[in-house]
Chains A and B, each alone.
Chain A
């Protein structure tokens, strides 16, 4: 079956530093990947997505990198702020499956 997983369950970074959150997927046929942010007590919120014809996509302070060779994607957050503290999920394709998430804590 498909699986989408995250390398680390928790990540702590200093305010102002860059954050990198990693995600592995198993379905080599996947052609769409997406990242969500979930703050405590709220529903997940779309951050950024990428399709398989791209290796990199940038948004506001966020960048997603896709490495199809090793079936890995990462979310980079520049100049991490306290408001970035949340759980981050990756999902692929039809988004039927989500990873367990990485909890990002920003230390002021």
Chain B
């Protein structure tokens, strides 16, 4: 099993550009999450989807949008990238809320 797959692994954007980070899981999990991790800091939740068809804001949703395309896929979109969005982004999934998370390998994003 691949688990949680994120693409791309690296990305450089110019301020104002848009992009979509892709995430897919093959574990038939109900819940999916997007976190960002800045140097020396913990994970901060951007958005989550408790189940297919639902999405909710996390701690730091400003500047981002998400789409739960189906049960497998959960994408994160930056409409107009800003330097403050330079970070490592992790997607995760779980069987449901209050269950252990399985993380992808991350996307390192730099916004110049």
Contacts and interface: CB of A to CB of B under 8 A. Distances in A.
Interface in B11-41: 33, 35, 40-41
A95 B103 CA distance: 13
Interface residues of B, number: 24
Q: Give the one of A31, A36, A96, A99 with max B CB within 10 A.
A: A96
A25 interface: no
Interface stretch (A37-45, A57-65, A78-86): A37-45
A66 B42 CA distance: 21
A60 B54 CA distance: 36
Contacts of A99: 42
A43 B43 CA distance: 10
Chain A: number of interface residues, binned into ranges: 20 to 34
Contact of B103 (A45, A93, A94, A100): A45
A43 B41 contact: no
B23 to A, nearest CB: 11
Interface of B: 4, 33, 35, 40-45, 48, 58-59, 90, 92, 94, 97-98, 100-106
23 contacts: A31-B98, A32-B98, A34-B100, A36-B101, A42-B105, A43-B90, A43-B92, A43-B104, A44-B90, A45-B103, A46-B100, A49-B100, A89-B42, A94-B98, A96-B45, A96-B58, A96-B59, A98-B35, A98-B42, A98-B43, A98-B44, A100-B40, A100-B41
